[in-house]
């Protein structure tokens, strides 16, 4: 497979996964605020924190009002990680490789983009409600369904899954990191109904509430962490994502499990082993933030290694001089 095609498949998937996560984060946060009296800027700043774009936001907006945060994360074209920007980049990548992806994938993604382009012409306040975020999420999920239903399980499909899984692991870890830090000091909520509401919203941010309840029934912070970091079968748990990424990477290269031929395999293998042999007690003892922070750094390094190993060409320049970025 052409390196450039693999690169675009990988990034197309990452951008769509990113758009879906951002939409869910906002939607869940919005609903959570309705349950909390006097929910102010404190409830919206974690979203910016989790996006990793604090500097850009502070410079251009300043105040963490709901309106500012929602606009920044949805339709702001200057924010490369807004839903609209992600969708535009996913579609640009798809357009580069239109001959490779299936017609159904392209038509869906293009229709999704055209819809978003229409929305972007209206004021954010009138567009970005629950229905909008639901549409973004289901459109992303529908794309995944079409991908799975129309594309052969070859190298291309595995590059898509590799990108998707790494993006998802990154998003889960960022959200958990920020929320855990944000929620724990709120001692006044401990033992109140809000405690439950707040932790439930963390799970909802990862579509994890129902699966969590089946497994643990009651909500407790340490079990939430255990579920989102270490669960092997929940599709948004970090451990699961890394397992799937490893399978796809090895399907691409043909290298047997637990051995490596390049930096990408080495880094991913190490990360997987670390998660394979962790438990929640150890994680909490060493500090969740330390673990998650380290994990994000490792994911970044892994992304670079994948790029060096398989794509190895200059990043694309598109309109406005933007290129694919982690």
Partner 1 sequence: MVDGFNNYELEGFFDEMLDNSLEARPSALALLEKLDELNWDELKRRQSAAEKALLQAGITFNVYGADGGTERIFPFDIIPRIISAEDWKQIESGLKQRVHALNLFIDDIYHEQRIVKEKVVPEEILKSAGSFREQCVGINPPRGIWCHITGTDLVRDADGRFYVLEDNLRCPSGVSYVLENRQVMKRTFPQVFESSGVRPVSDYSSHLHQTLEYLAPDSVHAPTVGVLTPGIYNSAYFEHSFLAKQMGVDLVEGRDLIVDDGWVMMRTTKGFERVDVLYRRIDDDFIDPRVFRKDSMLGVPGLMEAYRRGRVALANGPGTGVADDKVIYAYVPKIIEFYLGEEAILPNVPTYICWDEKERGYVLDNLDKLVVKAANESGGYGMLVGPHASEAEREEFAGKIKAQPRNYIAQPTLALSRVPTIVGDHFEGRHVDLRPYILYGEDIYVMPGGLTRVALKKGSLVVNSSQGGGSKDTWVLSN
How far apart, in whole angstroms, are the C-alpha atoms of residue 312 and residue 326?
Answer: 16
Least separation in angstroms between CB 75 and partner 1 = 14
Using the contact rule CB under 8 A, the part of the chain among 17-25, 32-40, 107-115, 208-216 near partner 1 is: 107-115
Structure tokens at 59: 């410079």
218 binds partner 1 (CB under 8 A): no
Q: Draw the binding track, 136-155, toward partner 1 (x: CB under 8 A; -: no contact).
A: -------------------x
Q: Which range in 57-65, 99-107, 134-142, 284-292 contacts partner 1 by CB under 8 A?
A: 99-107
If the CB atoms of residues 4 and 289 are measured against partner 1, the closer one turns out to be 4
Tell whether residue 2 is a contact of partner 1 (CB under 8 A). yes
What's the CA gap between 252 and 162, in Å, rounded? 10
Of the candidate residues 95, 263, 298, 322, the single one contacting partner 1 (CB under 8 A): 95
The rounded distance, in Å, linking the Cα atoms of 117 and 222 is: 42
Residue 36: how many other CB atoms lie within 10 Å: 15
Contact 161, 240 (CB under 8 A): no
Question: Taking the complex as a whole, how short is the minimal distance between the CB of residue 198 and partner 1, in angstroms?
Answer: 41
Task: Sketch the per residue contact string, 251 through 290, with partner 1: x for CB under 8 A, - otherwise.
Answer: -x--------------------------------------
Instruction: Find all residues with CB under 8 Å of 212, minimum gap 6, and list them.
Output: 203, 219, 223, 224, 227, 234
10 vs 212, beta carbon nearer partner 1? 10
Q: Pick one of 187, 285, 319, 321: the residue that binds partner 1 (CB under 8 A).
A: 319
Q: Residue 118 interacts with partner 1 (CB under 8 A)? A: no
DSSP state of 151: S
Using rule CB under 8 A, residue 157 touches partner 1: no
Q: Which string of DSSP letters, residue by residue, matches 208-269?
A: -HHHHHHHHSS--HHHHHHHHHH-SSSTTSHHHHHHHHHHHHHHHH-PPTT--SSHHHHHHH
- Report the residue from 15, 64, 72, 96 that binds partner 1 according to the rule CB under 8 A: 96
Considering the complex, state which of residue 57 and residue 106 has its C-beta at the smaller distance from partner 1. 106
Cβ proximity of 19 and 87 under 8 Å: yes
Tokens matching residue 55 = 């500097």
Exactly one of 11, 30, 57, 106 binds partner 1 (CB under 8 A); that residue is: 106
Q: Which is nearer to partner 1, 214 or 317 (CB)?
A: 317
Contacts of 89 (CB under 8 A, 6+ apart): 11, 15, 80, 318, 322, 324
């Amino acid at each position: 497979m052409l390196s450039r095609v693999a690169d675009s498949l990988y990034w197309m998937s990452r951008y769509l996964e990113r758009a879906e996560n951002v939409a869910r984060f906002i939607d869940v946060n919005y609903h959570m605020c309705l349950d909390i009296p006097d929910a102010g800027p404190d409830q919206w700043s974690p979203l910016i924190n989790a996006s990793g774009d604090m500097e850009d936001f502070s410079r251009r907006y300043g105040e963490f009002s709901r309106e500012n945060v929602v606009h920044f994360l949805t339709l702001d074209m200057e924010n490369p990680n807004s839903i609209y920007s992600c969708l535009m980049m996913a579609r640009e990548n798809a357009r580069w490789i239109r001959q490779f992806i299936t017609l159904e994938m392209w038509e869906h993604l293009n229709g999704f983009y055209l819809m978003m382009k229409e929305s972007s012409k209206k004021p954010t306040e009138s567009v970005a409600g629950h229905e909008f975020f639901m549409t973004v999420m289901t459109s992303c999920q529908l794309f995944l369904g079409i991908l799975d239903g129309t594309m052969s399980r070859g190298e291309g499909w595995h590059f898509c899954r590799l990108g998707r899984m790494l993006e998802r692991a990154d998003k889960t870890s960022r959200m958990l990191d920020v929320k855990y830090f944000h929620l724990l000091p709120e001692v006044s909520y401990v033992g109140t109904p809000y405690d439950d509401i707040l932790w439930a919203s963390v799970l909802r941010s990862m579509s994890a509430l129902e699966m969590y309840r089946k497994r643990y029934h009651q909500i407790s912070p340490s079990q939430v962490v255990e579920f989102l970091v270490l669960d092997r079968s929940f599709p948004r748990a970090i451990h699961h994502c890394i397992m799937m990424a490893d399978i796809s990477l090895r399907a691409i290269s043909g290298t047997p499990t637990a051995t490596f031929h390049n930096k990408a395999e080495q880094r991913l293998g190490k990360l997987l082993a670390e998660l394979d042999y962790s438990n929640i007690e150890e994680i909490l003892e060493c500090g969740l933030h330390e673990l998650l922070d380290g994990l994000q750094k490792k994911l970044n390094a892994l992304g670079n290694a994948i790029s060096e190993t398989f794509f190895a060409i200059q990043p694309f320049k598109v309109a406005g001089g933007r290129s694919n970025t982690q």
